[in-house]
Amino acid sequence: MKWIKRCTKCGEEKPIEAFSRNAASKTGYRPACKVCDRAGINKQGRRAYEKKYWSGAKGSEKKARIKQCREKNLEAYTAVLQAYRKTDTFKARHRAHAATRRARMRDAFVEAVDYQVIYELSSKTCVYCGKPLDFKEVEFDHFIPIAKGGRHERSNIRVSCLPCNRVKGARLVAEVCYQVD
């Protein structure tokens, strides 16, 4: 049975997938559908309000409190941040973010990619030299480089080791001669 919910803005009955999640509400979903929610966003008005707020007296007070808190806790914050940057979670997220950012800078297609799935599907080995790899040493390579019109999507990403990925660079596989030891 499919759940149906009535939108509070347009009054239409729609499937539950048409509504955004909201854990705070009784039903677990927002009262208005996604279409109506997006239509109701007033970005220019919101920007004007924010600018007025932060330039006014309340905004100045809040900025001062934030600055004071930041200065007071700077050492603790820095220590926590440095420890986090050494974790595998940060490194994996950073790699994914960097790849997505590079693709967007070139106006390439960007798809959400689960790197763990790609790693598992590749039998945990480098596609170029066949070397077995641990997830920590894996590099994810765009088979058709973004610089050559490739897309940032699951079907274009391969698992490779660092030396193979560095040799390939932003070239096609046919342009590269690999020497397997």
Residues 6-32 pLDDT 10s: 988 888 999 988 998 888 888 888 888
- pLDDT per residue as tens digits for the range 81-132: 999 999 988 988 898 888 888 888 877 778 888 888 899 998 999 999 999 9
DSSP state of 173: G
Tokens of 30: 């927002």
Instruction: Please enumerate in sequence order all residues whose Cβ is within 8 A of that of 25, keeping only pairs 6 or more positions apart, or say none.
Output: 31
Helix (H) / strand (E) containing 139 = strand 139-142
The candidate with the shortest Cα–Cα distance to 115, out of 137, 135, 86, 88, is: 135
Residue owning tokens 């790693």: 119
pTM: 0.50
Higher pLDDT, 148 or 178: 148
Q: How confident is the model at residue 68 (pLDDT cuts 50, 70, 90)?
A: very high
Question: What CATH class does 88-175 carry?
Answer: mainly alpha
Tokens of 70: 């930041």
Q: Where exactly are the structural domains of the chain?
A: 4-39, 43-85, 88-175
Instruction: Please enumerate in sequence order all residues whose Cβ is within 8 A of that of 34, keeping only pairs 6 or more positions apart, or say none.
Output: 18, 19, 20
Tokens of 74: 């700077």
Cα 109 to chain centroid, rounded: 14
